Amino acid sequence: MTDMRWGAWGVDADRTTLSDQVLELLRQGFGVTPGETSTASTEKVSLADSALSAAAVDAFRGEVGADQVRTDRDSRLLHVGGRSTVDLWRRRAGDAHQAPDAVILPGDHDQVLGVLRVAADRGVAVVPFGGGTSVVGGVEPERGDFDAVVALDLRRLNRLIELDEVSMIARIEPGLRGPEAEALLAEHGLTIGHFPQSFEYASIGGFAATRSAGQASSGYGRFDDLVVALRIATPRGSLDLGRAPASAAGPDLRQLFLGSEGALGVITEVTVRVRPAPAARHDEAWAFADFTTGAAAVRRLAQAEALATVTRLSDEAETAVNLAMGGDVGTAGPASGGCLLIAGHEGTAAQVEVARAVTATVLAEAGGRSLGTDAASGWRAGRYRAPYLRDALLDAGAQVETLETATSWSRLDHLYAAVRDALTESLTAAGTPPLVLCHISHAYPTGASLYFTVVAKAADDPIGQWTAAKQAAGDAIAAQGATITHHHAVGLDHRAWMVAEVGPLGLDVLRSVKAAVDPAGILNPGKLLPPPD
C-alpha cells in the first residue's frame, strides 16, 4: 500500500506541471508569480515527542503485536491529517503539531475491539484512518480532552472476505483501497461501480463512513445506497447490522454508521452490492447555451429516469477554463461559450445503445447539441488528475479549493448564485478576487448537487484567506436551506453548520447515540458533532 507524499496528493511519479499557457493565465488573471511557494521537507518539520505512556504502548502492543504499534517519526507524519488545501498549506509550512502520538495497525475485528478497550480504559483518543483522503478535516488527529491520540490505520484489514455471486453481494474489509477492491472483483467479472475523484487512494471503509458519491453514482448509486450490511467495533462491543435486502424491524441502524465518520464506531466489514463489469462504455459530450438551460436538461433526465451512468454539467466558467487549460485537465468543450455536459453510459452493448438513444432525445429536446465522443474522451482520461493539478497550482502561488452542496431543483439557481457571490465577495475583500467554477455531477428527481472550485492568488495567510471564504460560503448554504455537504462529509470543517442541518434535537439524538456506544468519547473527537453550548 503506497502512502501519499507529505505535502501533496499522490506519488512523485504522477505529479504534473503547468504549461506555459496556464502559467501565463495565472499571471494575467490573478497576479500569481510562479514559484512563490515551496514545501518544507519532512526532515525540517518539528515534531513533539509522543505523549503516549510506555504502559499504554505496551497495552496496545498486547492487542495487535509489537510491530503494529508505531511511534517513529515517519509513521506519525504520514497520519497527520487528510488532503484538503488547508492540510497541504500546513504541511508546506512544516506544521505537524497535530501529529498522532502513535499509529496502530490492527489485523482483524477482534484486534480493533481490543485497541478500543485499551484506549477507553487509558483515556486515549482514537482516529480511524483509511486512505487519508478527507478534505474536511475528518482524519485530523484531534486529542479533544485527552492527553494522547492514536491513528487507527486499517490497511491490514484488506481482504475480500466473501463473494456471493448468487445474491451479487461482496463482503469486504475496510482497508482495501478502491483500485484494490475493483481488481479483486474484476477477477470474477464484477464491479462495485464506485469511482470518486479520490478513488486511487480512498478506502472501502472511508466510502461507507463518509457516504461517498462517485462519478458514476447516477448509474450505480451512491456508496451508501450499495451497502447491504456492516460490522462495527465500538468501545462497548460489536454491532452486526443488515440481515436482508429490506426489513421492517424498526429504524435501520446501518444509517447511524453510514456517514458517522468514525465518531460512533469503527467499520470493520462492509457488505456491498456488486454488478457485472460493463461490457460496453460510451461517452458523449453535449453543448448547452448556458448553465440554466443545461441544468434544466439534467433535471428532465433525472425526472424521466433517463440519467446517464455519468452525468456531469459544467457551468460557463468551468467549461471555459477546461478548454483553456486543455492538456492539464483533458477536457474539450464548446468552441465558443456555453456549457459542456458529459453523458457516459455503461452496461451491455444493447443497454448502452438503448440508454444513449433515450438520453440523446431528452437532451436534444432540451436545447442540447451533441459534440460527439472525442470531446468527452479526454474528460475520462484526465478524471483523477485534478488533485495533482491542485498541487501544481499551489506550487505556483495560487489558492485552489473546492466545496459542494445540494438542494432541490426549484432552489438550485438561488443556491448557485448565493454561494458564488459569497466566495467572490470574501476573496475580493481580501484583495484576491477569485474565479469560481461550478458543475453538477449528481442529480436526482428532486434536486442536484453543486460542486464549486475556487481559484485565486494565495494571500500571505492562505489558511486564513480560505477559512474566511469557506465560512461565508457555508453561511450562504445554510441561509438557502441547502445541505452543508453532499458527499465530502462533516469532519471538522462543517460541524459548525450541523445545528442548521439537523436542528438542536437532532444533535441531541446523535450525542445520545455516541454516549451509548462510546461513553468515554474516545472516537474521533471533534468530528461530526459541534461542541455542546
Closest C-alpha among 422, 418, 435 to residue 321: 435
- pLDDT tens for 406-444 read 999 999 999 999 999 999 999 999 999 999 999 999 999
Q: Which helix (H) or strand (E) holds 161?
A: strand 160-164
pLDDT at 328: 39
**CA pair distance 302, 130, nearest whole angstrom:** 33
- pLDDT tens for 505-524 read 999 999 999 999 999 999 99
- ∠ CA(75), CA(116), CA(143), 5° rounding? 60
pLDDT at 88: 95
Query: Which conformational region is residue 330 in: left (phi greater than 0), alpha (psi within -120 to 50 degrees), or beta?
Result: left
- pLDDT tens for 95-134 read 998 899 999 999 999 999 999 999 999 999 999 999 999 9
pTM given for the model: 0.95
CB 151 within 8 A of CB 79: yes
pLDDT at 335: 54
Q: Which CATH number fits domain 280-381: 3.30.70.3450, 1.10.10.1150, 3.40.50.300, 3.30.930.10?
A: 3.30.70.3450
Q: Which CATH number fits domain 164-276: 3.40.1190.20, 3.40.50.300, 3.30.465.10, 3.40.50.2000?
A: 3.30.465.10
Give the domain ranges of the chain: 45-153, 164-276, 280-381
pLDDT at 36: 56
- 380: cell is 475520462
On the question of pLDDT at 149 being above 70, the answer is yes
CB 311 within 8 A of CB 358: no
- 357: cell is 438513444
pLDDT at 336: 60
pLDDT at 330: 41
DSSP code at position 88: H
CB 164 within 8 A of CB 228: no
Neighbours of 73 (CB within 10 A): 15
- pLDDT tens for 310-349 read 999 999 999 998 877 764 334 444 556 799 999 999 999 9
DSSP code at position 452: E
CATH topology of domain 45-153: 3.30.43
pLDDT band at 42 (very low <50, low <70, confident <90, very high): confident
Average pLDDT over residues 291-299: 98
Say what angle helices 462-479 and 412-429 make with each other, to 10 degrees. Answer: 150
